[in-house]
Amino acid sequence: NAGVTQTPKFQVLKTGQSMTLQCAQDMNHEYMSWYRQDPGMGLRLIHYSVGAGITDQGEVPNGYNVSRSTTEDFPLRLLSAAPSQTSVYFCASSNSGKTEAFFGQGTRLTVV
Amino acid sequence: GNSVTQMEGPVTLSEEAFLTINCTYTATGYPSLFWYVQYPGEGLQLLLKATKADDKGSNKGFEATYRKETTSFHLEKGSVQVSDSAVYFCALPGGYNKLIFGAGTRLAVHP
């Protein structure tokens, strides 16, 4: 009963490095999204997808890329890491944009 | 657009005390409403939900009633435990096909 699986759980990057945060779900959900959680800022939507091959920007998309080649996977790519991207990242999936979302355990990213 | 306002924390209670965390919303129509809980170092978990006006969601001793008259969805528990210490988020669907979350209320329960 995996649900939404994120890897890695922790990551430290140097400024300018790139990396991919992985997200996979086994619930056959069409909707997937990436949030970042920062102290005092709540959860902010980075990118989302309403199905394989379809992605769109959320509130804070700059510096991040996504793709959705399969229903199950929705990786988030940091192109050139910056200290401002130090955050906890959560992937979520749902049946639709109006129903409850299921969250992964999060990736704690530190950019130095 | 839709929005949610949640009482600020932290809330500090003794074990077996009564808990209320206030949540009010602004929405077009009558969307589903949710409470999520985040335990330390973990992701958000759905705690309970209500899908229409006057519905009561409940789980693990927590309850919340969807009140359209007062546009509220307050979270309550009659007797909290130390294990309930967590951050609680009120949420509803918004634009961008996403959920809109309140700022979160940190609850600390002491023995």
The pLDDT tens digits for A15-29 are 999 999 999 999 999
Say how far apart CA A31 and CA B31 lie, in whole Å. 18
Say how far apart CA A71 and CA B91 lie, in whole Å. 25
Per the document, the length of chain A is: 112
Peptide bond into B10 cis (omega under 30): yes
Nearest to B32 among A59, A99, A106 (CB): A99
For residue B4, the Cα-to-chain-centroid distance in whole angstroms is 11
Nearest to A97 among B42, B45, B97 (CB): B97
Peptide bond into A83 cis (omega under 30): no
CB B88 within 8 A of CB B75: yes
Q: What are phi and psi of A81, to 5 degrees?
A: -60, 140
Strands (E), chain A: 4-7, 10-13, 19-25, 31-38, 42-51, 54-57, 64-66, 76-78, 87-94, 102-103, 107-111
Say how far apart CA A32 and CA A96 lie, in whole Å. 9
CA-nearest residue to B100 within chain A is: A43
* Per-residue model confidence (pLDDT) at position A97: 76
Chain A residues with CB-CB distance to B44 below 8 A = 43, 90, 92, 103
Nearest to A100 among B46, B102, B103 (CB): B46
The pLDDT tens digits for B69-103 are 999 999 999 999 999 999 999 999 886 668 889 98
pLDDT of B60 over the 90 cut: yes
Which 8-state DSSP code applies to residue B83?
Answer: G
Residues 6+ apart with CB under 8 A from B59: B47, B48
The pLDDT tens digits for A65-110 are 999 999 999 999 999 999 999 999 999 999 887 788 999 999 999 9
CA-nearest residue to B97 within chain A is: A97
Strands (E), B7-104: 11-14, 19-21, 23-26, 33-38, 44-50, 56-59, 62-65, 75-77, 86-93, 99-101
